[in-house]
Amino acid sequence: MRKLFVLFLVTVNWMKQGDISAQMHTISKVWTADNGNGTFKNPLLWGDWPDPDVIRVGDEFYFVSTSMHYVPGCPILKSKDLVNWEMAGYAIDQYDEDPRYNLQGGEMYLRGSWAATIRHHNGLFYVGFCTPNWGKEKGQYSICTAKDIKGPWTRTIFPEYLYDPGLFFDEDGKCYVVHGQGKLYVTELAADARSVKGENKLIWDKAIDKPQGSSAPYTKYGMEGSHVYKINGYYYITCPAGGTEGWQVCLRSKNIYGPYESKIIVQDESSYPNNGLHQGGMLQLKDGSWWFVIMQDRGAIGRVPHLVPVEWKDGWPMLGKEGNGKGVVINEKPKVGKTHPITVPATSDEFNASTLGLQWQWNHNPDNEKWSLTERKGYLRLHSSFANDLTMARNTLTQRVQGPASEGTVEIDVSGLKDGNIAGFGIFEKPYAYMAVRKVGNNNCLLMVNNGQVIDSINQFTPNKFWIKANATHIGFTATFSYSVDGKKFIPFGNQLKMDLGYAWTANRFALFNYSIKKEGVDGYADFNWFRFKGENVLSNN
């Protein structure tokens, strides 16, 4: 078991006294990288923000991440100092190219947006991503463009499949994507990046030897997750190798088409043995310093981003203090000229606004006729639709569980349910677990379901308003559930969920839902008054 120690948070003296309590109240309920004393700790965000790519536009930093089948897709964060982040928006509203994104005729788990790349060029933001498929289906590549990071975004779907794309605008006006897995290719795009202009040209097909000290299971590895830069006349391509236990490789050449030489620029598993730092992007600050945002697999909690300084050595961007090829646990914050308030992406929601908070994503495309924030003011109302189980239930609303531990609580009113409806709150992945009320005739039954099996139940459960709480921790990746009939005393119920990654690479999420196991009379509704999040701000001491 990992030892935990609390990091004392020192509030900087420039804050107004009236802001201090609010600041501390916020950070006490969620993990934050900012220590409040001019330093930061890793991870930047202890939640599932995989495959990061980052850019700087003026004084703002932007971060894009993979979200696969969740909608809206391609989440984008913004920051003023690379340490404190908040949501800016999404590049994808929903996926219209296949009815399975509506959970009609099947599902699209794991598909959607993978390995997004972000760039800013000639006044436009560009977000590119791939959508892999399996079997006889062909994957695809998409590019989204917007003048404002908040959107609206315009999406172009390519007939070509460009895996793990790294978008790059060259100084001569040409545009390229570096892509591939194992074998890497360069493909020239049109100048506006919205169509393919040239053929795929192979630039790298060598395996990378496992570095000394790595716990990765094989001896040689291919690369993927490319990001491209041009610095001092060299083209640099950063790529991960080795998967979960992996490391970061850099290629460089004077020509975009090569030949390329390679170097491992970070190999470190120490902060979360045996999982290495192994995919991300880098950028330069106004003060000339370079930084790398790089992810690390942390099991069922997700792939979490780290911020690591970069030192240039012999023309190579080496990560770590003095370019030692290692990550950092605590480090001085980047010098951006100002001190910025501690901020974190939103979590809790009172459902008082007319739109959903940016922290929320649906499992597949929602049916917008079946949910509302206005039918009952101050509540999220979810109408039911037919589904065999939770995995096929539309309008399941989710947000990330977080490490090192997190707690989600909802107040729910089930007086609007109809026979066959199941409404509740839980933790979603494969396996999933939840607590819910199932309407059976005129009676309510309180259930705890784990991995599709009813573990415990209370027949003739009479309260229409009650509370459900779910707790998740990175220690053993377990989750537990409890309920309350007065909002004060919570009663443990059911058994423990062993969180896993059955839908590989998508981490566990808190989930609100209402679906029906009957096709007739399904349109009952459940009202959620609020969702409240509580986290921890402690650091693993390995």
Catalytic residues: 51, 224
Q: Collapsing DSSP states into helix, strand and coil, what is residue 104?
A: coil
User: CB-based contacts of 387: which residues, under 8 Å, 6+ apart?
Assistant: 103, 393, 394, 515, 516, 517
Token readout for 63 is 């971060």
Cα–Cα distance for residue pair 514/512, rounded to 1 Å: 7
Cα–Cα distance for residue pair 192/123, rounded to 1 Å: 12
Token readout for 87 is 């949501």
The CB density around residue 99, as the number of other CB atoms within 10 Å, is 12
Taking a C-beta distance cutoff of 8 angstroms, is the pair 370, 362 a contact? no
Task: Please provide the DSSP assignment of 112-153 as one string.
Answer: SBEEEEEEEETTEEEEEEEE---TT---EEEEEEESSTT---
Taking a C-beta distance cutoff of 8 angstroms, is the pair 67, 75 a contact? yes
Task: Please provide the DSSP assignment of 160-224 as one string.
Answer: S--SS-EEEE-TTS-EEEEE-SSSEEEEEEPTTSSSB-S--EEEE-PPEEPPTT---SSSEE-B-
Task: Please provide the DSSP assignment of 10-60 as one string.
Answer: PPPTTS-HHHHHHHHHHHTTS--SB-SSSEEES-SSSS---S-EEEEETTE
Between the alpha carbon of residue 78 and those of residues 83, 88, 105, 291, 535, the distances in Å are 10, 6, 37, 16, 21
Cα–Cα distance for residue pair 428/480, rounded to 1 Å: 13
Find, among 128, 78, 137, 71, the residue nearest to 102 by Cα: 71
Q: Collapsing DSSP states into helix, strand and coil, what is residue 100?
A: helix
Q: Environment class of residue 217 by beta-carbon count within 10 Å: exposed (0-12), middle (13-18) or buried (19+)? A: exposed
